Amino acid sequence: MNNSDKIKEKKDKVKETIEPIIKDCFFELVDVEINKNRYLRVIIDKREGKVSIDDCTLLSQKILEIDKLDEIMEGNFTLEVSSPGIDRPLIKKDDFKRFKGNKVKILTKNSIENKNIFIGMLENTDDREITLRCDKRELKIAFDNIKKANLEVDLFQ
């Protein structure tokens, strides 16, 4: 097993361990990031309203109380709990459904019409693909071709 696989396995175990606590506090787990310096970043969101510093503090305390986490992280680690920010990542299929009608930026694994980066309005989604309106036309992108997706925010509009 290579290092990338080990980190993915560790991320999956962390998600599985902390997600019930996050849900119990009425938050949503967006993603977990782990780097080789034993740094764990937990990204949370709310269905209603914005994530506050107090929310992050509360969840930090609850997450640090989980004994099993020390074992998964193999000893001491640094924890950060944060909001997803204005360019929130879209990771799960439900994220795409939730943010239908918003402007998004998609990076594809394989090029489509010689491009890998697409910015447009998220028009629709189903179990296999999303429909993006960019350049006044619809473009369908399969979920398995999405490398990275984020909300796209125009700060100067």
- Do 142 and 122 contact (CB within 8 A), yes or no? no
Tell whether 106 and 78 lie within a shared domain: no
Amino acid identity, position 90: L
Which ranges of the chain would DSSP assign to H, the alpha helix? Answer: 3-24, 53-64, 67-72, 93-98
Total structural domains within the chain: 2
153 close to 103: Cβ distance less than 8 angstroms: yes
Examine the domain organization and report whether 106 and 75 are in the same domain.
no
Query: Which of 82, 110, 138 is at the close of a domain?
Result: 82
9 shares its domain with 76? yes
| In a shared domain, residues 19 and 61 | yes
31 and 57 inside one domain: yes
Q: Which of 31, 48, 82 is the last residue of a domain?
A: 82
What is the pTM (predicted TM-score) of this model? 0.85
Q: Quick check: is 133 in a domain?
A: yes
**H/E run at residue 148:** strand 146-151
If asked whether residues 59 and 12 sit together in one domain, one would say yes
The CATH number for 107's domain is 2.30.30.100
Tokens for 65, please give them: 């109380």
**What does each of the 157 residues of the chain score in pLDDT, given as a tens digit?**
777 788 889 999 999 999 999 999 999 999 999 987 789 999 999 988 899 999 999 999 999 999 899 999 988 899 999 999 999 999 999 999 999 999 999 999 999 989 999 999 999 999 999 999 998 899 999 999 999 999 998 777 6
22 shares its domain with 67: yes
Q: Kindly state whether residues 19 and 51 are assigned to the same domain.
A: yes
CATH number for the domain harbouring residue 74 = 3.30.300.70
Domain carrying residue 74:
3-82
Q: Are residues 105 and 54 in the same domain?
A: no
Tell me whether residue 141 is in a domain: yes
Residue 22 within a domain: yes
